[in-house]
């Protein structure tokens, strides 16, 4: 994360404003922002992200599984249907998942189903770090791993996803603050 981001305005936010600004960083899980607010003041963007991730890490195994199940499947159909959050939609589009052939979509659906059946939660990957082919390859490889490895990997991928989302929100907040000055 950028060290040039001024966190004074973030640290000064009341609980409602803080949650409003950061609730959507974690997919359908505003609790990450709600609980992280108590850890203010944040010395850096990394400290803020770590506080939010700690909320997830402190969940018991079933809580983490429930959290993982809040995430959408990788799917061109989901993009076209508009059923995902704006962040997920943009991220999946960035990997070209909205422009797959019918054959690739069928393959992805089959792999998603196999992964979900084996592990009990959707395949999660920071799609911005992969090509479409890389995503398919990782999905095929990760299906066969044990579920605890996959929970750990899914949380690591979520950390990468949310780091980028948080950085974008912090940059936006800083721009708004600079315009007011």
Q: What share of the chain is helix, strand, coil (3-state, %, to 5)?
A: 70, 0, 30
Residue that is written with structure tokens 């640290």 in the block: 11
How far are the Cα atoms of 34, 83, 85, 163, 170 from residue 45, in angstroms, in the given order?
A: 16, 30, 23, 9, 8
Could you give the residue numbers annotated as active site?
71
Contact 71, 122 (CB under 8 A): yes
Rounded CA gap, 181 and 161, in Å? 31
């Amino acid at each position: 994360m950028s060290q040039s981001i001024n966190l004074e305005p973030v640290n000064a936010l009341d609980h409602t404003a803080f949650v409003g600004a950061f609730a959507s960083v974690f997919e359908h899980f505003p609790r990450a922002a709600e609980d992280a607010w108590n850890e203010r003041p944040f010395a850096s963007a990394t400290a803020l992200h770590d506080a939010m991730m700690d909320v997830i890490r402190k969940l018991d195994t079933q809580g983490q599984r429930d959290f993982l199940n809040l995430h959408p499947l990788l799917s061109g159909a989901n993009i076209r249907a508009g059923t995902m959050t704006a962040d997920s939609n943009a991220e999946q589009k960035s990997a070209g998942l909205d422009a797959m052939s019918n054959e690739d979509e069928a393959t992805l659906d089959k792999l998603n189903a196999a992964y979900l059946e084996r592990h009990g939660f959707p395949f999660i990957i920071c799609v911005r770090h992969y090509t479409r082919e890389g995503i398919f390859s990782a999905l095929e490889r990760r299906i066969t791993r044990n579920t605890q490895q996959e929970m750990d990997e899914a949380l690591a991928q979520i950390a990468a996803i949310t780091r980028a989302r948080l950085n974008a929100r912090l940059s936006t907040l800083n721009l708004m603050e600079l315009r007011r000055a």
